[in-house]
Amino acid sequence: MPELPEVETVRAGLALHVLDREIAEVAVRGPLGARVVRRQVGGADELAARLVGRRFTSAVRRGKFLWLPLHESGGPAEEALFAHLGMSGQFLLPDDPNPEHPHRRVRITFADGGVLDFHDQRTFGHLAATDLVPTLDGGPGGDAGGIGSDAVLPDVAQHIGRDLLDPLLAPGTTLRAALARRIRSSSRGIKRAILDQELVSGIGNIYADEALWHARLHYDRPGTKLPAARVRLLLDAATEVMRSALKAGGTSFDSLYVNVNGASGYFDRSLHVYGREGQPCDRCGAPIRREEFANRSSFRCPRCQRRPAGR
């Protein structure tokens, strides 16, 4: 599933190509397209009614969640197109819009003739035009390209925590310290804690495993058994791993994880544990292990990241 670096790469591409262009048409294609807009109460007709004739003013991201505020004449944005990419969702700007594609679910056509397509092979992603509501803490809703957005976010994302690239959650801030305390107050395994999107958003399976390797922590070590310094080390590691991945355009294992121009990221070349079962640890040489974890896989070095006693 795309994580913060992959979604930020998509956000940046959308910000370059789709802002301030009038929307002329919204077409939802077939029953699988209807599944992608399943969270729009009025379905395809409502989605089109709320988008046509309007323009996107910015592209904003919080963690893995993305939205495009819609222009409001005479005031700040009150609505946005909200997107979650799920496992295989993609925004694409085709050079030639005429050829059919089997995974195209929604097409937005602009008045200038250009199109923005949403592809989703597995249809776990979703799109919806939704209301914007004030943030609970009064801070910016998310990242709009190195600057904070307005202090609003989609109503469906109110429960999503801030991410580690958010300036309000930077090292040394009050919110960062509060996050570390919440992690240390939980008896659940540390990986489960940092995957909790309501606690801290943006981290998924790939970057959790990479951060845990950097911090030399086993994924099942409980937060209550970690000193404050180790939690700070883990959060710093997760931050730096995602920054490095973002510079590489994210992690692309196949054609599903690409930016709006169809280009793949290449951070998979820098992974230390994820997807490297049986290969030597870059630090100590021990073979990397893959273990079942919450209906997915977890990768670790058995020497650098020893299992905690009694777990």
Tell me which of 188, 243, 247, 296 is the catalytic residue. Answer: 296
DSSP string over 185-211: T--SBHHHHHH-TTTSBS--HHHHHHH
Q: CB within 8 A of 158, min separation 6: which ones?
A: 133, 136
CB-based contact 164:111 (threshold 8 Å): no
For residue 117, the cross-strand partners are: 92, 107
Helices (H), the chain: 4-17, 30-36, 43-51, 174-184, 190-195, 205-215, 228-247
Residue 64 a catalytic site member: yes
Choose among 133, 126, 182, 124: nearest CA to 154. 133
What's the CA gap between 147 and 167, in Å, rounded? 9
Q: How many residues does the chain have?
A: 311
For residue 147, the cross-strand partners are: none
Q: CB within 8 A of 299, min separation 6: which ones?
A: 209, 273, 274, 275, 276, 277, 288, 289, 290, 291
Residue 3 a catalytic site member: yes
Tell me which of 29, 50, 61, 64 is the catalytic residue. Answer: 64
Residue 270: count of CB within 10 angstroms of its CB: 14
User: 206-238 burial string, b = 16+ CB within 10 Å, else e?
Assistant: bbbbbbbbbbbbbbbbbbeebeeebbbbbbbbb
Catalytic residues: 2-3, 64, 296
